[in-house]
Amino acid sequence: MRIEDVYIWDINAKWLGITPHQLMENAGSGVARTIEERFGKGLKIAVFSGTGNNGGDGFVAARHLSFDNEVTLFLVGDEAKIRSEEARHNWEILKGLDFVEIKILKDSAYIRSLDLGGYDVIIDALLGAGTKGEPREPIRSAIEKINEYAGKAKIVSVDLPSGYPSAVRIKADFAVTFQWDKEEYGGFERVVVKIGYPRELYHIVGPGDAKFALGKKGEHKGQNGKLLVIGGSEDYFGAPYLASKAASYIVDLVYLAMPEYPAGRVGDPDLILRPVEGRNFTPEHVDSLLELAKRVDAVIIGPGIGLREETTEFVREFIKHCDRSLVIDADGLKALAGDLNVLKGKTFVLTPHAGEFAVLFGVKPDGPLVGKAELVMGKAREIGGVVLLKGAYDVISDGKAWKYNKTGNRGMTTGGTGDVLAGLVGALLALGNEPLRAASVGAFLNGLAGDMVKEELGENFTALEVAKKVPHAVKLVMEF
pLDDT tens for 106-124 read: 999 999 999 999 999 999 9
pLDDT at 280 over 90: yes
pLDDT class for 6, splitting at 50, 70, 90? confident
> What's the chain's average pLDDT?
96
Provide the 8-state DSSP code for 153.
B
| Residue 286, pLDDT score | 98
Q: Looking at the predicted structure, is the pLDDT value of residue 215 above 90?
A: no
Sheet holding 386-389, edge to edge: 272-276, 253-259, 226-230, 298-301, 325-328, 348-350, 386-389, 394-397, 402-405
pLDDT value for 394: 98
Distance CA(480)–CA(211), nearest Å, equals: 9
**Is residue 71 exposed (0-12), middle (13-18) or buried (19+ Cβ within 10 Å)?**
buried
Q: Given this model, what pLDDT does residue 3 score?
A: 81
Asked if the model's pLDDT at residue 168 lies above 80, the reply is yes
d(C-alpha 1, C-alpha 8), whole Å:
11
Pairing of strands 386-389, 253-259: unpaired
Angstrom distance (rounded) from CA 179 to CA 6:
9
Nearest to 257 by CA among 270, 245, 268, 271: 271
pLDDT surpassing 90 at residue 101: yes
Mean per-residue pLDDT, 172-195: 94
pTM here is 0.93
Closest CA to 436 of 358, 336, 347, 368: 347
Q: According to the model, what pLDDT value does residue 221 have?
A: 73
**Overall average pLDDT of the 337-359 stretch:** 96
Residue 83: its pLDDT value, please?
86
Q: What type of residue sits at position 366?
A: D
CA 293 to chain centroid: 28
Across the range 35-64, mean pLDDT stands at 98
Q: Is the pLDDT of residue 424 over 80?
A: yes
pLDDT higher than threshold 90 for residue 132: no
Residues 292/320, Cβ–Cβ less than 8 Å: no
In the chain, the largest separation of any two C-alpha atoms, in whole Å, equals: 87
Please compute the mean of the pLDDT values over residues 169-175 and round it to a whole number: 98
How much is the average pLDDT of 171-181? 95
What are the tens digits of pLDDT across the range 216-260? 777 777 789 999 999 999 999 999 999 999 999 999 999 999 999
For the CA atoms of 21, 22, 28, 33, the dihedral, rounded to the nearest 10 degrees, stands at: 160
* 184-196: average pLDDT: 95
Query: pLDDT by residue (tens digit) across 403-418?
Result: 999 999 999 999 999 9
Is the confidence at residue 401, as pLDDT, over 90?
yes
Cα(265)–Cα(233) distance, integer angstroms? 12
